Every structure is written in structure tokens, then in C-alpha cells.
A = this chain, B = another copy of it.
């Protein structure tokens, strides 16, 4: 056991959060005890209550901070992207999302896998923040559709599909893996953009005739805004 918490409040609080994140990630929220947390931080169980009131409070704090960081850093990435360039902005969103998720593997895991462990009021707050984040990608796709550079069946469900794909990287990514982060970003960016770009019409002889290749009739395509994703939950 490492005694990494001194008598300094902020340092101890940071240790509790760091160790709490690790324990929830490794054992699950239900299986982790505050007694175990206190022991790993190097505190008496009673002293823990000077810093956190409940296990639920610890979980909510971890997930809430993750969502706020994701939203803030994503906004910064978009602010730095060229305005008026929907593809450039989508590219910035994709790169940020991937880099964040490869870095914050444990936070993301807990935010997804322990969503069910949040009490109703906390759950609603987190789901609202997730919705805000999803709406950001939905707005980017709508910008691209409106500008005539993107062409997707349905904007909200396409956004969910893209988020699931990008978030998936945090489950298999390892720093020592075969591909570097820039290569992983390039691969996903290419996959998403090719998947969403408007292809030139077949009659002009430009681009593959996708409907023939996919065997699917085109549906709900075009520039008109799509209704909200009622009846569909946020993707994990």
C-alpha cells in the first residue's frame, strides 16, 4: 500500500479520486468498498468522510468531471478548427474524441459501464451532458449536409454510429500497440469522412454507384433537418 496522501486536503482529495477511479475500473462500483478505498489511499475509514460523503458521490464526481472535461476540450478543439469548413470541423471533432478516449480509458469505461449505478438525479445530469455532447456532433453533420458536402441517411443515428465507433478505440487501444495515435486518428477520420461525404452522382460518371454496391435503396437523404432521436437512448 502506498501512503500517498498527506494532511493536505486538496492532495488527499486528488488521491481519493485517483484511487477511486482505479478501484471502480478494476472491481466495479458495487464491488468496491469505501474501506478498501481508505486503505489504498492510506487513510482511516473515518477520515475518508472528511473528503467524500458517499460512494455514490465519488462515482458521480468522477463521471461528472469526465463529461465536463470532454465537453470543454471538445469545444476548444472546435474553436481551433477552421470556421465555415464543415469537413475541417468534423475532422477536429473526430481527432479530439479519439485522442481523449485513448488517453482517458478508465474514465470513459466508468462513465459508460457504471451509468446504471448512478442514482436517478445524478443519472439525469450525466445523460443531459451526454446529450449535449451528441448534439454537438449532430450539429456538425447538419452543417455538412446543409453545405452539400455530406450526405447521410439520418443525422442523429449516423452521429450515434460514429460516436460508438470512435469510443470503441478506448477498449482496444494500447500505447505499445502496432499503430500510433496519429495513424489511428487518420484511419478513423478517413472511414468516417468517406462514409459521410456526398459522392458525385452516378449519371455524371463520377464516383461509385453506391446503391448498386450496397443493394440498399437511398432513404431519407438530403438537406432537410432531421427530427430529434426520440425513442433512442444515448449510445454507451
Contacts and interface: CB of A to CB of B under 8 A. Distances in A.
A145 B171 CA distance: 26
B216 A207 contact: no
Nearest to A28: B30
Contacts of A206: 205-207
Nearest to A185: B216
Nearest to A198: B208
A199 B194 contact: yes
A236 B193 CA distance: 24
A47 interface: no
Contacts of A188: 161
B210 A207 contact: no
A162 B87 CA distance: 21
A194 B210 CA distance: 7
Interface string A160-183: 111111011101111011110001
A187 B172 contact: no
Contact of A195 (B28, B190, B219, B232): B190
Interface stretch (A6-14, A53-61, A151-159): A151-159
Nearest to A149: B213
A91 B220 CA distance: 20
Interface stretch (A15-23, A35-43, A64-72, A223-231): A223-231
Nearest to A113: B113
A128 interface: no
B165 A230 contact: no
A117 B31 CA distance: 11
A209 B199 CA distance: 11
Contact of A219 (B161, B171, B186, B210): B186
A93 to B, nearest CB: 13
A75 interface: no
Given A168-B163, A172-B232, A187-B161, A213 B193 contact: yes
10 contacts: A28-B116, A154-B183, A165-B165, A168-B235, A177-B229, A178-B227, A183-B219, A193-B214, A194-B210, A200-B207
